Amino acid sequence: MNRGGKTGILLWALCWMLGVCACSGSAPERMSVAVTIPPLQNWAEQLAGGRVDVVCAVPDGGNPESYDLPPSAMVELSRCRLYFSCGHLGFERTWLETLAKNNPSLQVVDLSRGLPLLYGTHVHHHGEEEHLHHGADYPDPHIWCSPRLARRMVESMYRALVEADSAGATVYEANYRRLDAELARVDSLLTAELAPLAGKAFAVYHPTLSYWAADYGLRQLALEPDGKSPTPQYLRTMVDSARRAGVEVVFVQREFDPRQAETFAREVGCRTMMINPLAYDWSDEIKRIADAFVR
Ligand SMILES: [Zn+2]
């Protein structure tokens, strides 16, 4: 190929890239927004009602506390106008700064802002390094598992969507009212179902349900004390605590090896239940967890 041909291809590629980045052209640009996990994708899609494209950074089955963003996803995310973050997930702590740097027009909306965060309930490893975030200075990131805080997260999403795209305000408002009513319904169902069990304890492998437990006055015993598999000694003390507390169920997240939880359950004489707090169908999953606890 001659020089001119090569230059032509380079120019074409450059124009295409500029077109992708700037979305110049006469057709009105469709807004894209990003979220970290599938439950937030569900909420954003319900609020947007097809008006906005929603990109989920951590795919189904990925662990949002340690997920590494592939370069292909970086391109897709850098086209987004808004990023709805849970606030304190390992993935967000690692990647949001890079994403914002790559795309100065990306507005990060921290959905945990202004919420009553829990400290001391969650300690874990950050990425590959042997670097622990201890509970004292690191809020528990699993905020979306609380129906009450979920309502406030959705309200922040709604407000940010209206601000970014005021032409869609009436659509967003109608969708927000509907979604908020659904979340309120989940909360009142759980309040009615769990109120008689206030003070009761459950066990969970990774401590994902701290906010959920706080909403309904329940006690969470976590088998994974520091983001690593529990030692046999630690498991022993947890078995004793669980027996004393009358634990009847141990929840296991599907990202984790269930064997230790199964051993724990045999020792305690309780049942195990697989849960997925990262499920896209958030309402169903949150109700299923409550049903399993009550059963
Ligand atoms: Zn966690």
Q: What is 43-103 written as a DSSP string?
A: HHHHHHTTSSEEEESS-TT--TTTPPPPHHHHHHHTT-SEEEE-SS-HHHHHHHHHHHHH-
* Residues 6+ away with beta carbon under 8 Å from 128: none
Q: How far is the CA of 113 from the centre of ligand 1 (A)?
A: 18
Q: How far is the CA of 161 from the centre of ligand 1 (A)?
A: 28
Q: How far is the CA of 147 from the centre of ligand 1 (A)?
A: 17
List pLDDT tens digits, range 83-101: 999 999 999 999 999 999 9
Give the distance, in angstroms, between the CA of residue 167 and the centroid of all CA atoms in the same chain. Answer: 28
Q: How far is the CA of 36 from the centre of ligand 1 (A)?
A: 14
Q: How far is the CA of 50 from the centre of ligand 1 (A)?
A: 31
Spell out the alpha helix ranges (H) of 204-274.
Answer: 210-215, 232-245, 259-268
Q: Give the residue from 108, 106, 142 showing the smallest Cα distance to 122.
A: 142
Residue 6 confidence (pLDDT) above 70 = no
Domain parsing of the chain, residue ranges:
29-189, 196-294
Longest CA span, the chain = 81
Least confident of 20-24, 32-36, 92-96, 220-224: 20-24
CATH number of 196-294: 3.40.50.1980
Residue type, 228: K
- pLDDT at residue number 287: 98
Q: How far is the CA of 245 from the centre of ligand 1 (A)?
A: 23
Q: How far is the CA of 206 from the centre of ligand 1 (A)?
A: 6
Least confident of 27-36, 154-163, 275-284: 27-36
Q: How far is the CA of 176 from the centre of ligand 1 (A)?
A: 28
Q: How far is the CA of 172 from the centre of ligand 1 (A)?
A: 31
Give this prediction's pTM: 0.87
Q: What is the mean pLDDT of residues 59-87?
A: 93
Q: How far is the CA of 210 from the centre of ligand 1 (A)?
A: 10
Domains 29-189 and 196-294 share a fold: yes
Q: How far is the CA of 284 from the centre of ligand 1 (A)?
A: 21
Q: How far is the CA of 159 from the centre of ligand 1 (A)?
A: 27
User: What's domain 29-189's architecture?
Assistant: 3-Layer(aba) Sandwich (3.40)
- pLDDT at residue number 134: 52
Give the C-alpha separation, 8 to 153, whole Å: 48
Q: What is the mean pLDDT of residues 129-158?
A: 83
